[in-house]
Every structure is written in structure tokens, then in C-alpha cells.
Amino acid sequence: MIDEIPLSRPDITDDELRLVEMVLRSDRLAGGPMMEEFEELVASRAGRRHGVAVSSGTAGLHLAMLALGIGPGDEVVTTPFSFIASSNCILFVGAKPVFVDIDPVTLNMDPERIEAAITPRTKAILAVEVFGNPTHMDRCRAIAAKHELPLIEDACEGLGGAWKGRSIGSFGRVAVFGFYPNKQITTGEGGMIVTDDDTIADVCRSMRNQGRAIPGQGQPQSSTLGMAFRHDRLGYNYRLPEINCALGVAQMRRLGDILEKREIVANEYVQLLLDTSDILLPTVDQHTRMSWFVFVVRLADQYTAEERDRIIQGMHRHDIGAAAYFPCIHLQPFYRERFGYAPGDFPVAESVSHRTLALPFFNRLTLREIDLVSQTLKLMISRENLKRT
Ligand SMILES: *Cc1c(COP(=O)(O)O)cnc(C)c1O
């Protein structure tokens, strides 16, 4: 019997259990050695000098916006085809997201269209490696440099990947990873800011910790206003507990193995779905080292969003997870209301988002399960075709 196959499932081994237990038996449950080790592991994997662990990817993006001084009246150029957090962080600081339509192959912001969206109010470009695909990140970086704008890299879907030998997380002045349970590695909830910029790292460390001065920064100790309650700036509680960092350390130590397993699953899907003419498979550029986040396929042009949704429902009836990844951000109700966006504003992103669907994807998905998912998908597609003719 094959049980329900979910969209995603975390992969927790004895290594994680051992490290979490070690933390629980220690006296340090927050701000300790696990956090330091986790920060080092992620920063070095991304080829950056600093890592700042935070409570979520969204919190990391929020701090990145603040550290770059983005605020009310500013514009940030970004993609409408992403998880909503990559755009919400722009709203958190009172700035305006200016969307750029996507490339239909990479599904990332189309570099050809970025410059047309830049105005005198533009303060940053926020690029996302959608579904882990870093293709053309060097072009986003070059455009940002040409216009003297910081590039913020929402790397929440791409830990471990690379483009032309350059790691995901190393393209932006600031990059942010996310560790929600469906990501390549998880800390339950969590995120990390990585950067080479000492000031940005210091400011983010302070802001995640209620705006406290960073230890060792030469602030005089005063008997009346000790370091513990000295707050240099408006800060937040965006700290990541030691238990969560222990999960992250254990997962980072076997990241190579995790990414390899995910690649095997992706390759198996490709083999099984290659011959289905109505399915477009994800394309991996020859210069891309893909760190697979999800496995998202796209139905051919003639399919409608309603047909796609019925295919997803059909998968669910067979106890198989499937989901529409992603609905466009500009068409979310509060974005439409606030900024006046309407269908047709970003036609490539909309046409892609009407026809994409994510299939179950996680490290321990078995070959039998992948086979069952693929067969069921083909069956659901044939049913829709029967209805049409
Ligand atoms: C997962 C993700 C985030 C961060 O999500 P959190 O749940 O806050 O950790 C941000 N941007 C993108 C594109 C994501 O996929």
C-alpha cells in the first residue's frame, strides 16, 4: 500500500536529533554556539563573509530592506512571479514594488525588461532565484551595478545552487536564505542574511536583537545603562533559537547528500515525463548547477487555469499532493486594491502561472512514488483532453 504522497516532507535523521538533544541538555537555548556554527556553515557555502541567522526568510528580507535604508517613497524593482514574501518585504518599509515581467524559460525576472522599470525613485533591485534557478543572476548584478543600485538576492529557494560557478547567495549586496520545512534544508522556521558588507552585517545583527549594540563594538559599559538594555536603534526580535540552529547545522553538514538526493528525484521525474507532449519540464541551463527546491511542470499553451486546477484536484483525489505554484503577486487581492494592478499587466507571468503545477518533491521520495505521481498526472491530463474534444 502506498500512503498519501504529500507535496513536501522534511528529512530529519538521527544527526539532527542528537544535536537538538545536545542543545536541550546545555544551558544555552538562544544566542549560543549552534547559531555561530550555523552562520559560518551557510555563509561559507554561499561564499560570503557574514551570516546572520534570523527567525524566518521573511524577517531576513525585512532586515535587508532596512539595512539598505529603503523607505517610504522609494521603489524596488522585482518579480511578480514568486512567493509573496519577496514583495511584501518592500511594503513592510513603506516602499513600492515595481514589477518586471518574467522570462518564460527561466521564470525569473527578464533581464531585458529591468532597465525600463528603473526610475529616479528606484532604490534597489530585488531578484529571486525562482524554484532555485539562478540563470542570468549575473545580468541582474551587472544592471544593478550599472545603475549604482544595490542588488538584493532573495535566495530563499536556492541554497547550494550556482550559476557559471558562482554560488547562489553571492550575487546580491545582501542575500537571504529561508529554512521553512519545504526548503532544501529546514530549521522548522528560520532564515539567514549573508553579505560581505561589515556594516550591513552589524546593523542586521543589532536589528534582529531589539537594536542592541553588537558585543565588542566598543560601547562603554555604564552601571545605569548596561549593554543588556542599551538599544541603539529600533530593533525587532528576529532571533533564531539554538534548537533551530542545531537542526540547521546537522542539515548543512549533509547538504551535499541532500542536494544529490533531490537531483535524483528531479531526474527521475524528467525521465518519466519526457515523452508527454502536453507537459513542459523545467529547463536547466548548461551553466546552472541546480539546487532543486520544487518540481514544477507547466501545461502546454492550450490549457486553461481551470483545466490545470481540475488536474490538481484530480491528483488530490488520488491522495497525491499538487499545487498551483505561484499565483502572481500583483493579482493578490490587497496588491490589486492598493496599487490598481489588473489581469494583463504582466502577461508572461500570468500565462505561466495559469499553467504551472508543483508535484510532490522531497529527498526521500521513492522511485515507485515518483512513478505513481507521473502516471496519475498523465491520466488526469488525458481526462481533460477527453472533455475538450
Ligand atoms: C520561502 C521563501 C521566503 C521566506 O519564507 P519564510 O517562510 O519567511 O522563511 C521568501 N521568499 C521566497 C521566494 C521563498 O520561497
Which residues are bridge partners to 51 per DSSP? Answer: 194
pLDDT value of residue 2 = 45
pTM (2 decimals)?
Answer: 0.96
Query: pLDDT tens, 184-238?
Result: 999 999 999 999 999 999 999 999 999 998 766 655 555 455 568 899 999 999 9
Burial of 116 (0-12, 13-18, 19+ CB in 10 A): exposed
Point out the catalytic residue in the list 96, 146, 164, 183.
183
Please tell me whether residues 49 and 194 are part of one structural domain.
yes
Host domain of residue 176: 14-101+110-253
pLDDT of residue 86: 98
Q: What integer pLDDT is reported at residue 229 of this predicted model? A: 86
The vertex-296 CA angle with 163 and 16, nearest 5°, equals 75
Q: Is 183 a catalytic residue?
A: yes
Rounded Cα–Cα distance for residues 109 and 362 (Å): 26
Quick one: 243 and 283 in the same domain? no
The total number of structural domains that make up the chain = 2
Q: 261 and 356: one domain?
A: yes
Name the residue among 184, 168, 179 with its Cα closest to residue 47. Answer: 168
From ligand 1's centre to the CA of 190, what distance in Å? Answer: 9
Which residue carries 511542470 as its cell? 297
Residue with CA at minimum distance from ligand 1 atom 9 = 57
Q: Establish whether residue 156 lines the binding site of ligand 1, counting it when its CB lies within 6 angstroms of any ligand atom.
A: yes
Ligand 1, closest atom to CA 183?
A: 1
Q: Final residue of a domain: which of 214, 230, 253?
A: 253
Gap from CA of 133 to ligand 1 centroid (Å): 15
From 102, 153, 174, 180, give the residue whose CB has the most ligand 1 atoms within 8 Å, as the site to mutate.
180
Atom number, ligand 1, closest to the C-alpha of residue 179: 9
Mutation pick for ligand 1 pocket among 88, 153, 156, 168 (CB with most ligand atoms within 8 Å): 156
Q: Give pLDDT < 50 ranges for the chain.
A: 1-2, 223
Structure confidence at residue 388 (pLDDT): 80
Tell whether ligand 1 has an atom less than 6 A from the beta carbon of residue 83.
Answer: yes
Which of 126, 157, 183, 328 to probe ligand 1 with, by most ligand atoms within 8 A of CB?
A: 157
- The pLDDT assigned to 274 comes to 95
Q: Is 153 in the pocket of ligand 1 (CB under 6 A)?
A: no
Distance, CA of 135 to CA of 137 (rounded, Å): 6
Q: Are residues 289 and 356 in the same domain?
A: yes
Q: 268 with 292, same domain?
A: yes
Nearest-CA residue for ligand 1 atom 4 is: 57
In a domain, 5, yes or no: no
Of the candidates 38, 8, 83, which has an alpha carbon nearest to the alpha carbon of residue 262?
A: 8
Note whether residue 37 is domain-resident.
Answer: yes
Atom of ligand 1 nearest to the CA of 191: 9
CB hemisphere CA count around 385 (13 angstroms): 12
Q: Are residues 212 and 283 in the same domain?
A: no
State whether 217 and 265 are in the same domain.
no
Out of 253, 282, 304, pick the residue that ends a domain: 253
Using the mean position of ligand 1's atoms as its centre, give its distance from the Cα of residue 157 in Å: 7
Summarize pLDDT for 168-189 with one digit per residue, the tens: 999 999 999 999 999 999 999 9
Q: Is the CB of 132 under 6 A from ligand 1?
A: no
* pLDDT reported for residue 3: 52
CATH number (domain holding residue 190) = 3.40.640.10
What is the CA(76)–ligand 1 centre distance, in A?
18
What is the distance in A from the centroid of ligand 1 to the CA of 378? 30
Q: What CATH number corresponds to the domain at position 301? A: 3.90.1150.10
